[in-house]
Amino acid sequence: MIVIGIQCNGKAGNMMKTPLQLRVDNDVKKDALDLFSGLGLSLSDAVNVFLKRAIVEGGFPFDVKKTPFEMRMDEATHEMEECEKHPENYTAYNSVDTMMEDIMNGKI
């Protein structure tokens, strides 16, 4: 991990610019520099664009969401918590055979 120091001194319009430090992985910095330089932007320009857009949007200017795996893990965690809170609503099995019997007989 490295620290990127973004420092913009002087004025742009009537706005004073202030330094900002970010911690990012080396690979992220390299890839971002390559990407934004190809677009004619410095990393400082790109961060400013992101922050301004976030302000306009009132949040991230793109969807921030969980992966399907994370969503399934949340569901499993919720189900486990429900089992712990209300064990009377669930059947515990001591053997796979007994559980399979209930499944085959339509009990669960």
At 68-78, the pLDDT tens digits run 999 999 999 99
pLDDT of residue 10: 46
pLDDT of residue 11: 47
Q: What is the pTM (predicted TM-score) of this model?
A: 0.51
Cα–Cα nearest to 7, from 15, 17, 59, 58: 17
CB contact at 8 A, 74 and 66: yes
At 12-66, the pLDDT tens digits run: 455 788 899 999 999 999 999 999 999 999 999 999 999 999 999 999 999 888 8
pLDDT of residue 108: 79
- pLDDT category at 107 given cuts 50, 70, 90 is confident
